[in-house]
Copies of this chain bind each other. A is one copy, B any other.
Amino acid sequence: MEKGPQGRRRGRGARERILGASQQLFRDQGINRTGMDQLCAAAQVSKRTAYQHFTGKDELVAEYLRRFDPDVTGGVFDRTDLTPRERLLAAFEVPAAGAQDITPMCPYIAASIEIHDPQHPARQYARDYKKAFAARFAETAREAGAANPEQLGEQLALLLDGASARTRVLNTESFPTAAAIAAVLIDNAIPTAARGSVRGSIRSAPVRVAGERQPGQAS
């Protein structure tokens, strides 16, 4: 049992330190390139302690995904200051890591590509997370009055995944492109009558999205 100068406190923090190290190392160098030795060194825990908290790396990877802050983009669905239509559009305003940085790669896509077995617990969790996210989109699309909310939800979820993958490949921010597509789909799916009846619908018009023409604007 590991006992540092702070006694039990250090032991209690080991699990968090391991998860913290995995957040950083998995993001910076990938899951498959990060071994338990390196994770233990970064977390300042012994391997014995690490294996007391996680049966192995597979379990750690799954827990890393479960603990990934889901509020990064998911929190937008709970914003009561926005209309449902505005919430759909706001999901595409992903904050970049820094002023000159690009949006970090989605960890659920990265894990699904790095791990080849679709039955791996991390792959299952990634799948569940992505389905739940599409369901939140669909629920909000229904509130916004979309003709086919499930279809729109799945379409918007695909756009976010496309923006994340393409941002990584091009090393250039692709979320504005996804936002412009989302604006077209939302305009197409939500009848004018429903759009007129929700609060703040003018503010959520595609004019806010880079690269989109305003309705009635000369081309």
Task: Identify the stretch in A16-24, A44-52, A53-61, A160-168 within 8 Å (CB) of chain B at 4 or more residues.
Answer: A160-168
Task: Identify the stretch in A3-11, A69-77, A169-177 within 8 Å (CB) of chain B at 4 or more residues.
Answer: A169-177
Q: Does A12 make an interface contact (CB < 8 A)?
A: no
Q: Does A32 make an interface contact (CB < 8 A)?
A: yes
Number of identical monomers bound together in the oligomeric complex = 2
* Bound-complex Cα distance A170 to B178 (A): 20
* Bound-complex Cα distance A170 to B125 (A): 10
Q: Is the interface of A mostly helix, strand, loop or mixed?
A: helix
A interface, CB within 8 angstroms of B: 28-30, 32-33, 105, 108-110, 112-114, 116, 118, 123, 126-127, 130-131, 147, 151, 154-155, 157-166, 168-171, 174, 177-178, 180-181, 184-185, 188, 211, 219
